[in-house]
Structure 1
Amino acid sequence: MASLARSTGRRLSFGLLAAALAVSGCATEVGGRALAGGAADEQSPAAKAPAPSGDPVAEPGQCVLGSSPAPVDCAKPHHVEVTKAGTFGADLPAARPDAAVIFKAALPECRTEAAKFLGSTDFDASTLAAWMLWAPVDDWAAGDRWYRCGVAQLDPDGKAVERTGSLKGALSGEKFFEFQVCSSAKPLEAAVKRISCTEPHHAEGLRVVTMGKPGDPVPTPDEFNAAARPVCGETLTKYLGTATRDDVVATWRWPSQTEWEQGFTNLTCYAQTDVPVTKKLRNLGAAPLPVG
Protein backbone atom coordinates (compact mmCIF):
# COMPACT_ATOMS: atom_id res chain seq x y z
CA MET A 1 0.00 0.00 0.00
CA ALA A 2 1.46 3.33 -1.00
CA SER A 3 2.10 5.71 1.84
CA LEU A 4 0.72 9.19 1.32
CA ALA A 5 1.91 12.55 2.55
CA ARG A 6 0.85 16.14 2.11
CA SER A 7 2.89 19.25 2.63
CA THR A 8 1.33 21.79 4.99
CA GLY A 9 4.05 24.39 4.62
CA ARG A 10 1.79 26.81 2.71
CA ARG A 11 -1.91 27.32 2.17
CA LEU A 12 -1.71 25.98 -1.38
CA SER A 13 -0.71 22.45 -0.37
CA PHE A 14 0.75 19.61 -2.40
CA GLY A 15 -0.21 15.95 -2.48
CA LEU A 16 2.68 13.49 -2.70
CA LEU A 17 2.80 9.88 -3.85
CA ALA A 18 5.52 7.76 -2.30
CA ALA A 19 5.42 4.72 -4.58
CA ALA A 20 5.63 4.03 -8.30
CA LEU A 21 2.10 4.10 -9.71
CA ALA A 22 0.78 2.79 -13.01
CA VAL A 23 -0.10 5.27 -15.71
CA SER A 24 -3.29 4.70 -17.65
CA GLY A 25 -2.96 2.76 -20.90
CA CYS A 26 -2.45 5.25 -23.67
CA ALA A 27 -0.61 3.34 -26.34
CA THR A 28 -1.77 0.14 -27.89
CA GLU A 29 -2.64 -1.60 -31.11
CA VAL A 30 -5.68 -0.89 -33.25
CA GLY A 31 -8.63 -3.21 -32.86
CA GLY A 32 -6.60 -6.15 -31.59
CA ARG A 33 -4.83 -6.58 -34.93
CA ALA A 34 -1.40 -6.51 -33.31
CA LEU A 35 -2.19 -8.65 -30.28
CA ALA A 36 -0.03 -11.71 -29.82
CA GLY A 37 -1.91 -14.85 -30.78
CA GLY A 38 -1.83 -18.42 -29.55
CA ALA A 39 0.23 -21.43 -30.56
CA ALA A 40 0.42 -20.34 -34.18
CA ASP A 41 2.71 -17.49 -33.15
CA GLU A 42 5.19 -19.98 -31.76
CA GLN A 43 5.79 -21.77 -35.05
CA SER A 44 9.02 -21.02 -36.86
CA PRO A 45 8.93 -18.93 -40.06
CA ALA A 46 10.16 -21.97 -41.99
CA ALA A 47 7.30 -24.10 -40.75
CA LYS A 48 4.70 -21.48 -41.62
CA ALA A 49 6.39 -20.17 -44.80
CA PRO A 50 3.86 -17.37 -45.24
CA ALA A 51 4.09 -14.64 -47.80
CA PRO A 52 3.58 -11.02 -46.79
CA SER A 53 -0.05 -10.04 -47.14
CA GLY A 54 0.73 -7.06 -49.32
CA ASP A 55 -2.11 -5.15 -47.68
CA PRO A 56 -1.68 -1.36 -47.86
CA VAL A 57 -0.44 0.31 -44.67
CA ALA A 58 -1.05 3.96 -43.85
CA GLU A 59 1.92 6.33 -44.06
CA PRO A 60 2.58 9.59 -42.18
CA GLY A 61 -0.05 12.14 -43.12
CA GLN A 62 -2.70 9.44 -43.47
CA CYS A 63 -5.12 7.93 -40.96
CA VAL A 64 -6.62 4.52 -40.16
CA LEU A 65 -10.13 3.46 -39.26
CA GLY A 66 -11.02 0.58 -36.96
CA SER A 67 -8.80 -2.51 -37.00
CA SER A 68 -7.43 -2.05 -40.53
CA PRO A 69 -4.02 -0.42 -41.16
CA ALA A 70 -5.20 0.66 -44.62
CA PRO A 71 -4.95 4.41 -45.22
CA VAL A 72 -7.95 6.72 -45.09
CA ASP A 73 -8.16 10.44 -45.61
CA CYS A 74 -7.84 12.22 -42.26
CA ALA A 75 -10.67 14.54 -43.28
CA LYS A 76 -12.94 11.49 -43.10
CA PRO A 77 -13.82 9.44 -39.98
CA HIS A 78 -10.78 7.69 -38.48
CA HIS A 79 -9.35 6.50 -35.16
CA VAL A 80 -5.59 7.02 -35.44
CA GLU A 81 -3.47 9.57 -37.30
CA VAL A 82 -0.10 8.19 -38.42
CA THR A 83 2.91 10.32 -37.50
CA LYS A 84 5.90 8.12 -38.40
CA ALA A 85 6.74 4.89 -40.24
CA GLY A 86 9.39 2.45 -39.08
CA THR A 87 10.73 -1.09 -39.31
CA PHE A 88 11.82 -3.30 -36.41
CA GLY A 89 15.39 -4.56 -36.55
CA ALA A 90 16.69 -8.13 -36.54
CA ASP A 91 17.27 -7.99 -32.78
CA LEU A 92 13.62 -8.92 -32.21
CA PRO A 93 12.65 -12.63 -32.41
CA ALA A 94 11.48 -14.44 -35.54
CA ALA A 95 8.09 -15.08 -33.97
CA ARG A 96 6.34 -11.81 -33.26
CA PRO A 97 6.80 -10.93 -29.56
CA ASP A 98 4.09 -9.76 -27.21
CA ALA A 99 3.02 -6.14 -26.86
CA ALA A 100 5.33 -5.41 -23.91
CA VAL A 101 8.41 -6.19 -26.04
CA ILE A 102 7.05 -4.17 -28.95
CA PHE A 103 6.37 -1.18 -26.72
CA LYS A 104 9.85 -1.25 -25.20
CA ALA A 105 11.40 -1.35 -28.68
CA ALA A 106 9.46 1.48 -30.30
CA LEU A 107 7.01 3.26 -27.99
CA PRO A 108 9.61 5.76 -26.68
CA GLU A 109 10.16 6.85 -30.27
CA CYS A 110 6.41 7.09 -30.86
CA ARG A 111 5.93 9.16 -27.72
CA THR A 112 8.68 11.55 -28.79
CA GLU A 113 7.07 11.85 -32.20
CA ALA A 114 3.64 12.45 -30.62
CA ALA A 115 4.99 15.38 -28.61
CA LYS A 116 6.45 16.95 -31.76
CA PHE A 117 3.29 16.36 -33.75
CA LEU A 118 0.86 17.60 -31.07
CA GLY A 119 2.99 20.61 -30.23
CA SER A 120 3.51 19.80 -26.55
CA THR A 121 5.13 17.26 -24.23
CA ASP A 122 2.09 17.60 -21.96
CA PHE A 123 -0.09 15.09 -23.81
CA ASP A 124 -0.19 12.70 -20.81
CA ALA A 125 -2.24 15.43 -19.08
CA SER A 126 -4.71 15.42 -21.98
CA THR A 127 -7.15 13.08 -23.70
CA LEU A 128 -4.64 12.66 -26.56
CA ALA A 129 -2.08 9.86 -26.64
CA ALA A 130 0.68 8.17 -28.57
CA TRP A 131 -0.53 5.04 -30.38
CA MET A 132 1.14 2.13 -32.18
CA LEU A 133 0.24 -0.24 -35.01
CA TRP A 134 2.48 -3.07 -36.15
CA ALA A 135 2.68 -6.02 -38.53
CA PRO A 136 0.26 -8.93 -38.05
CA VAL A 137 1.64 -12.39 -37.24
CA ASP A 138 1.93 -13.75 -40.78
CA ASP A 139 3.58 -10.62 -42.15
CA TRP A 140 6.03 -10.64 -39.25
CA ALA A 141 6.95 -14.28 -39.86
CA ALA A 142 7.48 -13.48 -43.54
CA GLY A 143 9.98 -10.79 -42.57
CA ASP A 144 7.73 -7.74 -42.96
CA ARG A 145 8.37 -5.98 -39.63
CA TRP A 146 6.64 -2.65 -40.19
CA TYR A 147 5.28 -0.46 -37.45
CA ARG A 148 3.57 2.90 -37.38
CA CYS A 149 3.54 5.60 -34.73
CA GLY A 150 0.36 7.58 -34.40
CA VAL A 151 -1.79 9.78 -32.20
CA ALA A 152 -5.36 9.27 -31.07
CA GLN A 153 -7.99 10.86 -28.88
CA LEU A 154 -9.11 8.59 -26.03
CA ASP A 155 -12.54 7.94 -24.56
CA PRO A 156 -13.03 7.35 -20.81
CA ASP A 157 -12.13 3.67 -21.30
CA GLY A 158 -8.83 4.50 -23.01
CA LYS A 159 -10.06 3.49 -26.48
CA ALA A 160 -9.44 5.57 -29.58
CA VAL A 161 -12.50 7.60 -30.52
CA GLU A 162 -13.66 8.13 -34.08
CA ARG A 163 -12.96 11.68 -35.22
CA THR A 164 -12.32 13.78 -38.32
CA GLY A 165 -9.56 16.26 -39.06
CA SER A 166 -5.89 16.39 -38.11
CA LEU A 167 -4.50 16.69 -34.56
CA LYS A 168 -1.29 18.35 -35.73
CA GLY A 169 -0.45 21.13 -33.25
CA ALA A 170 -3.57 20.30 -31.23
CA LEU A 171 -1.90 20.94 -27.85
CA SER A 172 0.10 24.04 -28.68
CA GLY A 173 -0.50 27.00 -26.39
CA GLU A 174 -4.05 27.54 -25.17
CA LYS A 175 -5.31 24.68 -27.34
CA PHE A 176 -4.21 22.28 -24.59
CA PHE A 177 -7.30 23.14 -22.55
CA GLU A 178 -9.59 21.86 -25.32
CA PHE A 179 -8.19 18.36 -24.68
CA GLN A 180 -7.37 18.61 -20.95
CA VAL A 181 -8.03 15.38 -19.08
CA CYS A 182 -10.27 15.20 -16.02
CA SER A 183 -10.51 12.31 -13.56
CA SER A 184 -13.31 10.96 -11.41
CA ALA A 185 -10.65 9.44 -9.12
CA LYS A 186 -8.25 11.40 -6.94
CA PRO A 187 -4.71 10.99 -8.36
CA LEU A 188 -3.37 11.07 -4.83
CA GLU A 189 -5.21 7.83 -4.10
CA ALA A 190 -5.73 5.90 -7.34
CA ALA A 191 -5.02 5.73 -11.06
CA VAL A 192 -6.63 8.43 -13.15
CA LYS A 193 -10.10 7.58 -14.48
CA ARG A 194 -10.91 9.72 -17.49
CA ILE A 195 -14.21 11.53 -17.49
CA SER A 196 -15.70 14.54 -19.26
CA CYS A 197 -14.75 17.76 -17.49
CA THR A 198 -18.45 18.72 -17.52
CA GLU A 199 -19.18 15.71 -15.29
CA PRO A 200 -18.40 15.62 -11.55
CA HIS A 201 -14.65 15.09 -11.21
CA HIS A 202 -11.89 15.27 -8.60
CA ALA A 203 -8.90 16.17 -10.75
CA GLU A 204 -7.79 18.10 -13.82
CA GLY A 205 -4.56 17.46 -15.75
CA LEU A 206 -2.10 20.36 -15.66
CA ARG A 207 1.22 19.38 -17.26
CA VAL A 208 4.02 16.83 -17.24
CA VAL A 209 7.56 17.06 -15.91
CA THR A 210 10.23 15.17 -17.86
CA MET A 211 12.45 13.10 -15.55
CA GLY A 212 14.91 11.40 -17.91
CA LYS A 213 15.20 8.91 -20.76
CA PRO A 214 14.09 5.24 -21.01
CA GLY A 215 17.67 3.98 -20.55
CA ASP A 216 18.22 6.04 -17.41
CA PRO A 217 17.63 4.61 -13.92
CA VAL A 218 14.11 5.24 -12.65
CA PRO A 219 14.20 8.15 -10.19
CA THR A 220 13.53 7.41 -6.54
CA PRO A 221 10.28 8.54 -4.90
CA ASP A 222 12.21 11.35 -3.21
CA GLU A 223 13.56 12.46 -6.59
CA PHE A 224 10.10 12.39 -8.18
CA ASN A 225 8.64 14.37 -5.29
CA ALA A 226 11.48 16.90 -5.23
CA ALA A 227 11.02 17.59 -8.94
CA ALA A 228 7.22 17.68 -8.75
CA ARG A 229 6.69 19.83 -5.68
CA PRO A 230 7.80 23.23 -7.05
CA VAL A 231 6.70 22.72 -10.68
CA CYS A 232 3.26 21.26 -9.98
CA GLY A 233 2.65 23.81 -7.25
CA GLU A 234 3.60 26.79 -9.40
CA THR A 235 1.55 25.42 -12.29
CA LEU A 236 -1.50 25.07 -10.03
CA THR A 237 -1.11 28.64 -8.75
CA LYS A 238 -1.07 29.94 -12.32
CA TYR A 239 -3.96 27.68 -13.30
CA LEU A 240 -6.19 28.86 -10.44
CA GLY A 241 -5.04 32.46 -10.51
CA THR A 242 -4.36 32.37 -6.77
CA ALA A 243 -1.97 30.86 -4.24
CA THR A 244 -4.26 31.13 -1.23
CA ARG A 245 -6.76 28.27 -1.62
CA ASP A 246 -6.65 25.25 0.67
CA ASP A 247 -9.45 23.29 -1.05
CA VAL A 248 -7.46 22.57 -4.24
CA VAL A 249 -4.11 20.76 -4.08
CA ALA A 250 -1.41 19.85 -6.57
CA THR A 251 -0.93 16.09 -6.88
CA TRP A 252 1.17 14.00 -9.23
CA ARG A 253 1.71 10.47 -10.45
CA TRP A 254 4.70 8.67 -11.96
CA PRO A 255 5.36 5.45 -13.93
CA SER A 256 6.42 1.96 -12.95
CA GLN A 257 9.76 0.48 -14.03
CA THR A 258 8.13 -1.18 -17.06
CA GLU A 259 6.34 1.99 -18.11
CA TRP A 260 9.53 4.00 -17.71
CA GLU A 261 11.30 1.64 -20.13
CA GLN A 262 8.42 2.10 -22.59
CA GLY A 263 8.93 5.86 -22.70
CA PHE A 264 6.76 7.14 -19.86
CA THR A 265 9.72 9.04 -18.43
CA ASN A 266 7.75 11.83 -16.82
CA LEU A 267 5.45 12.59 -13.92
CA THR A 268 2.05 14.21 -14.48
CA CYS A 269 0.67 17.08 -12.39
CA TYR A 270 -3.01 17.44 -11.46
CA ALA A 271 -5.26 19.89 -9.66
CA GLN A 272 -7.22 17.85 -7.10
CA THR A 273 -10.24 18.58 -4.90
CA ASP A 274 -11.69 16.59 -2.03
CA VAL A 275 -15.24 17.19 -3.27
CA PRO A 276 -16.24 16.59 -6.90
CA VAL A 277 -16.56 19.69 -9.06
CA THR A 278 -18.69 20.09 -12.17
CA LYS A 279 -16.67 22.67 -14.09
CA LYS A 280 -13.01 23.29 -14.76
CA LEU A 281 -11.10 25.19 -12.10
CA ARG A 282 -9.02 27.31 -14.45
CA ASN A 283 -8.95 30.98 -13.35
CA LEU A 284 -11.19 30.13 -10.40
CA GLY A 285 -9.43 32.68 -8.18
CA ALA A 286 -11.25 33.20 -4.88
CA ALA A 287 -14.66 32.05 -6.21
CA PRO A 288 -16.42 29.08 -4.57
CA LEU A 289 -15.76 25.63 -5.97
CA PRO A 290 -18.26 24.70 -8.72
CA VAL A 291 -19.91 21.85 -6.85
CA GLY A 292 -23.41 22.01 -8.25
Structure 2
Amino acid sequence: MGGAPTSATSAPTTASSSGTTETPSPTSSESPSPSSSTSSAPAAQDYAAGQCLGPKPGYAKVDCSTSHLYEVAAAPATTLYAGDLVKRTAYGTAVCNEQGAKYLGSAGWAVSRLQVATLPTAADPKNKERFVCIVQEFENSLKSLKQGTGSVKGKLTGSGFYSYNLCLKGRASKSDDVEFVPCNAPHASEATGGKLNGRPGAPFPGGDKIQKQALSYCKPIGEKFLGTKRRTDIISSQNSGGPGPWAKGQMFTGCFVEVTSGTVKKSLHYITTKPLTSYR
Protein backbone atom coordinates (compact mmCIF):
# COMPACT_ATOMS: atom_id res chain seq x y z
CA MET A 1 0.00 0.00 0.00
CA GLY A 2 1.40 3.37 -0.92
CA GLY A 3 0.83 6.76 0.55
CA ALA A 4 1.19 10.32 -0.69
CA PRO A 5 4.86 11.28 -1.08
CA THR A 6 4.77 13.90 1.65
CA SER A 7 2.18 12.37 3.93
CA ALA A 8 2.34 9.84 6.74
CA THR A 9 -1.21 8.70 6.11
CA SER A 10 -2.04 5.87 3.80
CA ALA A 11 -4.46 5.60 0.94
CA PRO A 12 -7.80 3.79 1.42
CA THR A 13 -7.62 0.02 1.19
CA THR A 14 -9.67 -2.24 -1.00
CA ALA A 15 -10.97 -5.69 -0.18
CA SER A 16 -9.31 -8.69 -1.74
CA SER A 17 -11.14 -11.65 -3.18
CA SER A 18 -10.64 -13.49 0.11
CA GLY A 19 -12.43 -10.77 2.01
CA THR A 20 -9.31 -9.60 3.81
CA THR A 21 -8.00 -6.09 3.53
CA GLU A 22 -4.50 -4.74 3.48
CA THR A 23 -3.48 -3.40 6.88
CA PRO A 24 -2.45 0.22 6.33
CA SER A 25 0.84 1.67 7.49
CA PRO A 26 2.24 5.20 7.67
CA THR A 27 4.62 6.21 4.91
CA SER A 28 6.86 9.23 4.57
CA SER A 29 9.18 10.78 2.03
CA GLU A 30 11.84 10.36 4.73
CA SER A 31 11.19 6.65 5.20
CA PRO A 32 13.75 4.22 3.79
CA SER A 33 12.77 1.84 1.02
CA PRO A 34 14.57 -1.09 -0.61
CA SER A 35 14.90 0.80 -3.89
CA SER A 36 16.50 3.94 -2.42
CA SER A 37 19.75 4.93 -4.10
CA THR A 38 22.69 7.19 -3.31
CA SER A 39 25.04 9.18 -5.52
CA SER A 40 28.09 7.20 -4.32
CA ALA A 41 28.66 3.81 -2.76
CA PRO A 42 28.54 4.04 1.06
CA ALA A 43 31.23 2.54 3.26
CA ALA A 44 30.32 -0.74 4.91
CA GLN A 45 29.36 -0.44 8.56
CA ASP A 46 28.85 -2.99 11.28
CA TYR A 47 25.38 -2.82 12.82
CA ALA A 48 23.96 -4.20 16.04
CA ALA A 49 20.67 -3.92 17.91
CA GLY A 50 20.42 -0.77 19.99
CA GLN A 51 22.57 1.41 17.76
CA CYS A 52 21.14 4.72 16.55
CA LEU A 53 21.51 6.17 13.07
CA GLY A 54 21.48 9.58 11.46
CA PRO A 55 19.54 10.58 8.33
CA LYS A 56 19.72 9.06 4.87
CA PRO A 57 21.59 8.56 2.63
CA GLY A 58 24.45 7.74 4.99
CA TYR A 59 22.58 6.34 8.00
CA ALA A 60 25.76 6.97 10.00
CA LYS A 61 25.93 5.60 13.53
CA VAL A 62 25.39 8.25 16.20
CA ASP A 63 25.19 8.26 19.99
CA CYS A 64 21.62 7.46 21.04
CA SER A 65 21.72 10.31 23.56
CA THR A 66 21.88 12.72 20.62
CA SER A 67 19.09 13.52 18.17
CA HIS A 68 18.52 10.74 15.64
CA LEU A 69 15.90 9.36 13.24
CA TYR A 70 16.52 5.62 13.25
CA GLU A 71 17.40 2.85 15.69
CA VAL A 72 18.68 -0.61 14.81
CA ALA A 73 16.39 -3.37 16.05
CA ALA A 74 18.42 -6.28 14.67
CA ALA A 75 20.98 -7.16 12.01
CA PRO A 76 20.41 -10.86 11.27
CA ALA A 77 22.90 -12.53 8.95
CA THR A 78 21.47 -14.50 6.02
CA THR A 79 22.24 -15.03 2.34
CA LEU A 80 18.85 -16.59 1.53
CA TYR A 81 17.55 -15.44 -1.88
CA ALA A 82 20.69 -13.35 -2.39
CA GLY A 83 20.37 -13.85 -6.15
CA ASP A 84 16.69 -12.84 -6.35
CA LEU A 85 16.00 -9.23 -5.40
CA VAL A 86 12.21 -9.60 -5.32
CA LYS A 87 12.21 -12.68 -3.09
CA ARG A 88 14.96 -11.31 -0.87
CA THR A 89 13.16 -7.99 -0.41
CA ALA A 90 9.95 -9.76 0.64
CA TYR A 91 11.83 -12.12 2.93
CA GLY A 92 13.76 -9.23 4.48
CA THR A 93 10.53 -7.36 5.12
CA ALA A 94 9.06 -10.36 6.95
CA VAL A 95 12.26 -10.92 8.94
CA CYS A 96 12.48 -7.30 10.02
CA ASN A 97 8.77 -7.14 10.86
CA GLU A 98 9.32 -10.06 13.23
CA GLN A 99 12.55 -8.67 14.69
CA GLY A 100 10.96 -5.25 15.12
CA ALA A 101 8.08 -6.78 17.08
CA LYS A 102 10.55 -8.45 19.44
CA TYR A 103 12.55 -5.25 19.88
CA LEU A 104 9.58 -2.95 20.45
CA GLY A 105 7.62 -5.42 22.55
CA SER A 106 4.57 -5.84 20.32
CA ALA A 107 3.57 -6.86 16.81
CA GLY A 108 1.13 -3.97 17.14
CA TRP A 109 3.90 -1.67 15.93
CA ALA A 110 2.28 -1.89 12.49
CA VAL A 111 -0.64 0.18 13.82
CA SER A 112 1.48 2.55 15.88
CA ARG A 113 3.69 5.60 15.40
CA LEU A 114 6.74 3.34 15.76
CA GLN A 115 7.35 1.73 12.40
CA VAL A 116 9.83 -0.93 11.32
CA ALA A 117 11.71 -0.97 8.02
CA THR A 118 14.71 -2.62 6.38
CA LEU A 119 17.76 -0.48 5.70
CA PRO A 120 17.81 0.20 1.92
CA THR A 121 20.07 -2.12 -0.03
CA ALA A 122 21.84 0.87 -1.59
CA ALA A 123 22.87 2.05 1.88
CA ASP A 124 24.39 -1.28 2.90
CA PRO A 125 27.21 -2.86 0.83
CA LYS A 126 26.66 -6.07 2.83
CA ASN A 127 22.98 -6.27 1.87
CA LYS A 128 23.38 -9.77 0.37
CA GLU A 129 24.78 -11.07 3.64
CA ARG A 130 22.38 -9.55 6.18
CA PHE A 131 19.30 -7.48 6.83
CA VAL A 132 19.53 -4.35 8.95
CA CYS A 133 16.17 -3.86 10.65
CA ILE A 134 15.51 -0.31 11.80
CA VAL A 135 12.82 1.49 13.77
CA GLN A 136 11.54 4.99 13.09
CA GLU A 137 9.07 7.11 15.03
CA PHE A 138 6.48 9.42 13.49
CA GLU A 139 5.41 12.72 15.00
CA ASN A 140 1.93 12.81 16.54
CA SER A 141 0.71 14.59 13.40
CA LEU A 142 1.96 11.63 11.27
CA LYS A 143 3.36 14.13 8.78
CA SER A 144 7.06 13.55 9.40
CA LEU A 145 9.57 11.42 11.25
CA LYS A 146 10.47 12.44 14.78
CA GLN A 147 13.98 13.41 15.80
CA GLY A 148 14.34 11.58 19.09
CA THR A 149 16.87 10.90 21.82
CA GLY A 150 17.28 7.74 23.84
CA SER A 151 16.01 4.29 22.88
CA VAL A 152 12.57 3.05 21.86
CA LYS A 153 13.34 -0.54 22.81
CA GLY A 154 10.37 -2.11 24.59
CA LYS A 155 8.23 1.01 24.25
CA LEU A 156 5.22 -0.94 22.97
CA THR A 157 5.27 -3.53 25.75
CA GLY A 158 1.97 -3.87 27.60
CA SER A 159 0.11 -0.61 28.13
CA GLY A 160 3.03 1.27 26.58
CA PHE A 161 1.40 0.58 23.22
CA TYR A 162 -1.38 3.05 24.03
CA SER A 163 1.07 5.96 24.01
CA TYR A 164 1.81 5.25 20.34
CA ASN A 165 -1.34 3.64 18.91
CA LEU A 166 -2.99 5.08 15.81
CA CYS A 167 -6.56 5.64 14.73
CA LEU A 168 -8.32 5.09 11.41
CA LYS A 169 -10.55 7.61 9.71
CA GLY A 170 -13.07 4.92 8.83
CA ARG A 171 -14.10 1.56 10.24
CA ALA A 172 -11.35 -1.05 10.31
CA SER A 173 -13.84 -3.79 9.43
CA LYS A 174 -14.70 -2.03 6.17
CA SER A 175 -12.60 -1.47 3.07
CA ASP A 176 -13.41 2.19 2.54
CA ASP A 177 -11.73 5.13 4.26
CA VAL A 178 -9.13 2.98 6.00
CA GLU A 179 -6.58 5.73 6.53
CA PHE A 180 -4.39 6.48 9.54
CA VAL A 181 -5.10 9.69 11.42
CA PRO A 182 -4.02 11.03 14.83
CA CYS A 183 -6.45 9.96 17.54
CA ASN A 184 -7.36 13.59 18.33
CA ALA A 185 -8.75 13.89 14.79
CA PRO A 186 -12.19 12.54 13.82
CA HIS A 187 -11.93 8.77 13.56
CA ALA A 188 -14.10 5.68 13.65
CA SER A 189 -11.48 3.13 14.74
CA GLU A 190 -8.66 2.97 17.27
CA ALA A 191 -5.84 0.44 17.28
CA THR A 192 -5.62 -1.88 20.27
CA GLY A 193 -2.78 -4.16 19.16
CA GLY A 194 -1.79 -6.57 16.45
CA LYS A 195 -0.28 -9.91 15.52
CA LEU A 196 1.90 -11.53 12.89
CA ASN A 197 0.10 -14.31 11.03
CA GLY A 198 3.12 -16.29 9.91
CA ARG A 199 6.89 -16.73 9.99
CA PRO A 200 9.14 -15.38 7.21
CA GLY A 201 8.82 -17.53 4.10
CA ALA A 202 5.61 -19.25 5.20
CA PRO A 203 2.90 -19.78 2.54
CA PHE A 204 -0.32 -17.77 2.69
CA PRO A 205 -2.73 -19.80 4.88
CA GLY A 206 -5.90 -18.45 3.31
CA GLY A 207 -8.07 -15.46 4.05
CA ASP A 208 -10.78 -17.36 5.93
CA LYS A 209 -8.30 -18.87 8.37
CA ILE A 210 -6.60 -15.52 8.99
CA GLN A 211 -9.91 -13.75 9.55
CA LYS A 212 -11.18 -16.37 12.00
CA GLN A 213 -7.97 -16.34 14.02
CA ALA A 214 -7.78 -12.55 13.91
CA LEU A 215 -11.28 -12.05 15.30
CA SER A 216 -10.61 -14.57 18.06
CA TYR A 217 -7.37 -12.80 18.94
CA CYS A 218 -8.61 -9.21 18.72
CA LYS A 219 -11.95 -9.45 20.52
CA PRO A 220 -10.61 -9.94 24.08
CA ILE A 221 -7.97 -7.28 23.48
CA GLY A 222 -10.70 -4.83 22.46
CA GLU A 223 -12.85 -5.66 25.47
CA LYS A 224 -9.91 -5.13 27.82
CA PHE A 225 -9.11 -1.84 26.08
CA LEU A 226 -12.67 -0.58 26.51
CA GLY A 227 -12.98 -1.90 30.05
CA THR A 228 -16.28 -3.61 29.25
CA LYS A 229 -17.82 -6.46 27.25
CA ARG A 230 -21.32 -5.01 27.12
CA ARG A 231 -21.26 -2.21 24.56
CA THR A 232 -23.07 -2.48 21.26
CA ASP A 233 -22.15 0.99 19.94
CA ILE A 234 -18.42 0.11 20.03
CA ILE A 235 -17.19 -3.24 18.73
CA SER A 236 -13.90 -5.08 18.39
CA SER A 237 -12.67 -5.55 14.82
CA GLN A 238 -9.64 -6.50 12.78
CA ASN A 239 -7.95 -5.59 9.52
CA SER A 240 -5.71 -8.25 7.97
CA GLY A 241 -3.52 -8.39 4.90
CA GLY A 242 -4.49 -10.63 1.98
CA PRO A 243 -2.29 -12.65 -0.41
CA GLY A 244 -0.88 -9.53 -2.09
CA PRO A 245 0.71 -8.01 1.01
CA TRP A 246 1.67 -11.49 2.23
CA ALA A 247 3.75 -12.07 -0.92
CA LYS A 248 5.64 -8.87 -0.07
CA GLY A 249 6.39 -10.00 3.48
CA GLN A 250 3.52 -8.14 5.16
CA MET A 251 1.75 -10.71 7.34
CA PHE A 252 -0.13 -8.46 9.75
CA THR A 253 -3.41 -8.32 11.53
CA GLY A 254 -4.26 -5.01 13.15
CA CYS A 255 -6.70 -5.10 16.08
CA PHE A 256 -9.13 -2.22 16.59
CA VAL A 257 -12.20 -1.02 18.40
CA GLU A 258 -14.63 0.91 16.21
CA VAL A 259 -17.78 2.92 16.72
CA THR A 260 -20.72 1.55 14.77
CA SER A 261 -21.81 5.00 13.57
CA GLY A 262 -20.19 8.40 13.17
CA THR A 263 -16.77 9.34 14.53
CA VAL A 264 -15.09 10.34 17.79
CA LYS A 265 -12.22 12.72 18.60
CA LYS A 266 -10.77 11.08 21.71
CA SER A 267 -9.26 7.76 22.70
CA LEU A 268 -11.81 5.16 23.76
CA HIS A 269 -9.39 3.58 26.23
CA TYR A 270 -11.34 2.60 29.37
CA ILE A 271 -14.53 4.30 28.24
CA THR A 272 -16.36 1.49 30.11
CA THR A 273 -20.07 2.43 30.19
CA LYS A 274 -19.70 6.19 29.64
CA PRO A 275 -21.82 7.61 26.79
CA LEU A 276 -20.13 8.38 23.49
CA THR A 277 -21.56 11.91 23.46
CA SER A 278 -18.55 13.46 25.20
CA TYR A 279 -16.19 11.67 22.80
CA ARG A 280 -17.80 12.96 19.61
TM-score, with length taken from structure 2: 0.78
| Structure 1 residue 59: Cα displacement | 3.9
The answer for the alignment partner of 2:59 in structure 1 is 69
Q: Residue 110 of structure 2 aligns to which amino acid in structure 1?
A: D
State which of 167, 176, 190 in structure 2 corresponds to 1:182.
167
Counterpart of 1:167 in structure 2 is 152
Q: Which segment drifts farther, 189-198 or 152-161?
A: 152-161
The 5 Å alignment of 1:64-143 reads: 64-67=53-56, 68-86=58-76, 89=79, 91-93=81-83, 97=85, 100-136=86-122, 139=125
CA distance in 2, matches of 1:170, 1:138: 27
Partner Cα distance (1:33, 1:286) in 2: 44
1:269 to 251, 255, 263: 255
Opposite residue 152 of structure 2, the aligned amino acid is: L
User: Tell me, which stretches of 5 or more residues in structure 1 are unaligned?
Assistant: 4-16, 41-49
Are the aligned partners of 1:57 and 1:69 in contact in 2 as well (CA < 8 Å)?
A: no
Q: Relative to structure 1, is the Cα distance of residues 165 and 270 closer, same or farther in structure 2, using a 3 angstrom cutoff? A: same
Alpha-carbon distance, 1:124 to partner: 2.2
Q: 1:132 to 1:246 in 2, by over 3 A?
A: same
Distance between the aligned counterparts of 1:77 and 1:218, measured in 2? 40
Counterpart among 250, 275, 280 of residue 288 in structure 1: 275
The match for 1:250 is 236
The partner residue of 1:194 within 176, 180, 200 is 180
2:43 aligns to what? 54
How many pairs were matched up? 262
Confirm or deny: 8 A CA contact 1:29 1:131 kept in the other structure. Answer: no
Contact map agreement 2:93 2:248 (CA 8 A) in 1? yes
Query: Residues 22-71 of structure 1: CA distance to partner in whole angstroms, max 9, x if unpaired?
Result: 2224689965575256xx9xxxxxxxxx9x64265654322122212211
Q: Is the aligned partner of 1:149 residue 2:139?
A: no
CA distance in 1, matches of 2:188, 2:80: 46
Q: Is the 8 A contact 2:52 2:61 kept in 1?
A: yes
Tell me whether 158-167 or 201-210 shows the greater mean CA deviation. Answer: 158-167
TM-superposed CA distance for 1:255, in Å, is 1.1
Contact 2:74 2:100 survives alignment (8 Å): no
1:144-202 Cα offsets, whole Å, 9 max, x none, are 75541111123565854322220011011221111111122221223642222222211
Flag the 1:90–1:234 CA change in 2: closer, same or farther, 3 A: closer
Give the superposed CA RMSD: 3.4
Deviation at 1:257, TM superposition (A): 2.0
Superposed displacement of residue 221, structure 1: 3.0
**Secondary structure of 1:131's aligned partner:** strand
Higher mean alpha-carbon deviation, 282-291 vs 254-263, is at 254-263
- TM-score, length-scaled by structure 1: 0.75
Unaligned ranges ≥5, structure 2: 1-13
**What is the Cα deviation at residue 264 of structure 1?**
3.0
Aligned positions of 1:198-237 closer than 5 A:
198-237=184-223
- SS in structure 2 at match of 1:280: coil
Alpha-carbon distance between aligned partners in 1 of 2:152 and 2:244, rounded to the nearest angstrom: 28
Give the distance between the partners of 2:194 and 2:124, measured in 1 at CA: 39
> Sequence identity, in percent?
23
Change (3 A) 1:218 1:27: farther
The alpha-carbon deviation at position 90 of structure 1 amounts to 7.4
Partner of 1:7: none
Give the stretch that moved more between structures: 116-125 or 211-220: 211-220
- In structure 1, distance between residues paired with 2:31 and 2:254: 27
Bigger radius of gyration among the two: 1
Is the contact made by 1:255 and 1:267 (CA closer than 8 Å) also made in structure 2?
yes
- Answer 1 or 2: which has greater strand percent: 1
How many Å separate the matches in 2 of 1:75 and 1:89? 33
Report deviation, 1:277.
Answer: 0.9
Contact 2:168 2:187 (C-alpha < 8 Å) held by counterparts: yes
CA distance in 2, matches of 1:213, 1:57: 26
Q: Distance in 2 between matches of 1:90 and 1:18?
A: 30
